[in-house]
Amino acid sequence: MSGDVVDLIMQDHREVERLFDKMRQFPDTRALAAPVLSALLIAHSRAEESAVYPAAKDEAGETEEVAHSQEEHTQAEQMLKQLIETDPESSRFEEVLAQLEEAVTHHVQEEESTVLPHMKEHLSEQRRMELGAAFAASRAEHLGERPGEATKEELQWQAHNMGMTGTSSMGKAELAKKLKAKAG
């Protein structure tokens, strides 16, 4: 298995696609698969936000793409929270699942067609391996977190990645509210 950050991110993308497919094809697995999907997406997003996006933005020049990706992460986390709070056997669950899958698929396609190829082109293999180690460590640290449980530091990373300024003096609740409003 490669330790290149681009490869690690793409492996997570394939696993998320597999989980969406499983929940669509086998509705009886939703109660067990939804928390797994949530844990993976939260850990993946937080690892990208803290370990990958700053390098993509500062070293690979992906400023606009990173800001957009960060907004998509914030939106996906809001949808994940709805999904986890919804009865897996209800029609509402199917609606939220479809919206989440559409949003995540869109995000993955954009990331795999812009940010990741740009990182592959502009960052050395050694740097991508360093980022891969940081991504894997951060991802492992965040496994098991639930939507809406970001720390103030993680929220500040999200704000930084979105290009928001003046957030250092904000409290956690105010920062979360501003991020949610910016993500739409």
31-79 residue pLDDT tens? 999 999 999 999 999 999 888 888 877 776 666 787 788 788 889 989 9
The CB-side HSE value for 140 (13 A sphere, CA atoms) comes to 7
Determine the pLDDT at residue 151. 67
d(CA 46, CA 142): 7
State the pTM of this model. Answer: 0.80
Q: Could you tell me which residue, 62 or 89, shows the higher pLDDT?
A: 89
CB contact at 8 A, 138 and 50: yes
| Cβ contact 45:146 at 8 Å | no
Let me know: does 98 contact 104? Beta carbons within 8 Å: no
CA distance 83 to 93: 6
pLDDT digits (tens, 9 = 90+) for 111-161: 999 889 989 999 999 999 999 999 999 998 888 777 666 666 766 767 766
Residue pair 114/65 in contact (Cβ under 8 Å)? The answer is yes
Domains of the chain, CATH where assigned: 5-183 (1.20.120)
